[in-house]
């Protein structure tokens, strides 16, 4: 996933770039509106993070120019102002979402993920039925409810969600979550599956971890 950052505050641009790079995104930063528009028009980016107050063309003019050139890349607009008029103007100009400065890293990542998800892009979240697993934060969620997982619970849930309806054997879980060197035995897997079942219930999820003798575990969800 390639992300363009158009932000004249260089320190902020760098910190956003580092944050995105740490999540596996390819991020590039430019520092004025003209360059931002020229890069954006190339159409090679999956998302553009665009500051409003920029030297040369401002963010709204950049967004408008991109839309005029039929560039459909989603635009996340950053602004220090949060008045309703500003938001409406930004959205009218072609921004998909508005984030008011100062924002925190999690807020930015959530917006980036939401916009990329709309594009069908790679996100750091797995979903099965009504449950979601945030791979960055280690949170298991269902609707608005979330619960934090321990490292082992997270590892087991991740493997189960990746497999979905397919079976994952206890041996495979031991190997992937505990590692070859560990003294853990299959009983450990059963204990952690028990914890996960409780947590799924605690957030009101309909996802169930089903056990099938000799085959292992798989997920089931109510339609
Ligand atoms: Ca600025």
Can you give the pLDDT at residue 123?
54
**pLDDT number for residue 120:** 61
**pLDDT over threshold 80, residue 87:** no
Confidence grade of residue 216 (pLDDT, cut at 50, 70, 90): very high
Q: What's the gap in Å between 218 CA and the centre of ligand 1?
A: 50
The per-residue pLDDT for 121 is 53
Average the pLDDT over 18-37 and give the result: 92
Question: What is the whole-number distance in angstroms between the Cα of residue 123 and the centre of ligand 1?
Answer: 28
Q: What is the 33 CA–ligand 1 centroid distance (Å)?
A: 10
Looking at residue 19, the DSSP 8-state letter turns out to be H
pLDDT band at 223 (very low <50, low <70, confident <90, very high): low
50 CA distance to ligand 1 centroid (A)? 9
Please name the residue that has the structure tokens 């949170």.
Answer: 139
Q: Find the 128 Cα to ligand 1 centroid distance in Å.
A: 40
Mean pLDDT calculated for residue range 188-193: 95
CA of 99 to the centre of ligand 1 (A): 13
For residue 209, the CA-to-ligand 1 centroid distance in Å is 49
CA distance 100 to 211: 47
Binning pLDDT at 50, 70 and 90, where does residue 26 land? confident
Task: Report pLDDT for 35.
Answer: 96
Residue 83: pLDDT over 90:
no
Residue pair 130/142 in contact (Cβ under 8 Å)? The answer is: yes
| Cis-peptide, bond into residue 128, ω within 30° of zero | no
Task: Note the Cα 144 to chain centre separation in Å.
Answer: 16
Q: Is the pLDDT of residue 24 over 60?
A: yes
Distance 31 CA to ligand 1 centre (A): 9
Task: Give me the chain's average pLDDT, please.
Answer: 89
pLDDT in tens, 135-177: 877 899 999 999 999 989 999 999 899 888 889 999 999 988 8
Asked if pLDDT for residue 185 goes beyond 90, the answer is no
Which range among 17-26, 122-131, 203-212 has the greatest average pLDDT? 203-212
Average pLDDT over residues 33-44: 92
Residue 82 has pLDDT above 60, yes or no: yes
**Which residues, including other chains, have CB under 8 Å from residue 144's CB and lie 6 or more apart?**
none
Rounded Cα distance, 156 and 142, in Å: 17
User: Count of alpha carbons within 13 Å of 92, Cβ hemisphere only?
Assistant: 6
Percent of residues, the chain, with pLDDT higher than 90: 52
Q: 110 alpha carbon to ligand 1 midpoint, in Å? A: 21
Query: Residue 138: its pLDDT value, please?
Result: 84
What is the whole-number distance in angstroms between the Cα of residue 80 and the centre of ligand 1?
8
pLDDT tens by residue, 88-125: 777 778 888 889 888 989 899 989 988 887 766 555 78
């Amino acid at each position: 996933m390639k992300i363009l950052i158009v932000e004249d505050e260089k320190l902020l641009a760098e910190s956003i770039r580092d944050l995105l790079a740490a999540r596996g995104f390819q991020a590039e930063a430019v520092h004025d509106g003209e360059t931002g528009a020229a890069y954006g028009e190339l159409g090679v980016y999956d998302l553009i993070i665009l500051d409003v107050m920029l030297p040369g063309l401002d963010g709204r003019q950049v967004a408008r120019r991109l839309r005029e050139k039929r560039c459909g890349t989603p635009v996340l607009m950053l602004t220090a102002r949060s008045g309703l008029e500003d938001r409406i103007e930004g959205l009218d100009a072609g921004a998909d979402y508005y984030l008011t400065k100062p924002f925190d890293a999690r807020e930015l990542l959530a917006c980036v993920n939401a916009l990329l998800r709309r594009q069908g892009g790679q996100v750091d979240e797995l979903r099965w039925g009504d449950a979601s697993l945030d791979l960055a934060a280690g949170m298991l969620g269902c609707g608005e409810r979330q619960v934090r997982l321990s490292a082992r619970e997270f590892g087991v849930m991740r493997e189960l969600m990746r497999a979905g309806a397919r079976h994952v054997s206890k041996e495979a879980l031991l190997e992937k979550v505990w590692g070859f060197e560990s003294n853990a035995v299959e009983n450990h897997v059963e204990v952690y599956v028990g914890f996960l079942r409780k947590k799924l219930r605690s957030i009101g999820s309909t996802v169930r971890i089903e056990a099938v003798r000799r085959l292992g575990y798989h997920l089931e969800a109510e339609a």
